[in-house]
Copies of this chain bind each other. A is one copy, B any other.
Amino acid sequence: MRIGELAALLGVSTRTVRYYHHQGILPEPPRLANGYREYGMRDAVALARVRRLVELGLSLDEARDVIADDESRELPEILAEIDADLARQEREIQIRRARLAEVLQRAQDGTLRPYDTASPDLVEFLRQVELPASSAAAWDRDLLVLMDSMAAPPARERAFTVLDQVAADPETRSRGQEFYRRLDELAEAEPDDPRIAPLAKMLAEYTLTYMLADPAPPDWRPEMLEPFLEGLAPAQAEVIRQGMRHMSAGKRPR
């Protein structure tokens, strides 16, 4: 048999057979005078065994080990390991399909475009609170979506604890809307506008009402806020800065 016949017999490509030779997983058969590899039944049986192992999910390295050890008691181990791995993959796929179904549902409902892939929790929150269409609210939406994607679990959890409480109380929501209205009025204001200070106080009180635990991680520094103020008008940014200072001051010596 030549390589093409062997490969066709087992349903693989000739490249695969040569690759197995290269990897030492299938012994090289003798060559004919013209240099062609000449295969016999032993090779076909060996290749079949390799293929069965690979199709069970073994890597080529694992298959080589199983074949090399005649006394290979490792096979059940390896198989159990592969099964555990497949089980994990199966769970992951199910989780991802569930998320996909949610997103797909929302995509067909056809609402909020750039936030359509956010977490269900956040989408639910955004739907409930109906932030106004102002630029300041858009900034806050971006911030929320960012927190939603953030890696650090404690920050995320703290944020969503607050959001749940806000969403649950209509009076709180209307206070939030008032805050946005007043923040919007500062769009063209100077950074020393007198309306800034009271609004910052309102923000601090409003937030502290819900953040009973430490709202900031231990390595918090004010300049970490700066990159996220991009997109706000100077006076608006100043409100956030001062509000954060209030909160840090009020909580630091806990």
Interface residues of A (CB under 8 A from B): 1, 8-12, 39-42, 44-45, 48-49, 51-53, 56-57, 75-76, 79-80, 82-83, 86-87, 89-90, 93-94, 96-97, 99-101, 103-104, 107-108, 114, 116-118, 142-143, 145-146, 148-152, 227-231
Contacts and interface: CB of A to CB of B under 8 A. Distances in A.
B104 A83 contact: yes
Binding site of A, secondary structure by majority: helix, strand, loop or mixed? helix
Given A52-B117, A97-B90, A151-B8, A44 B104 contact: no
Contact of A149 (B1, B51, B142, B152): B51
A37 to B, nearest CB: 12
A57 B96 contact: yes
Given A11-B150, A49-B114, A118-B52, A227 B100 contact: no
B42 A149 contact: no
Given A11-B151, A86-B97, 12 more contacts: A8-B151, A41-B228, A48-B148, A52-B117, A52-B118, A56-B117, A57-B100, A82-B100, A83-B100, A86-B96, A89-B93, A90-B97
Contacts of A104: 76, 79-80, 83
Contacts of A86: 93, 96-97, 100
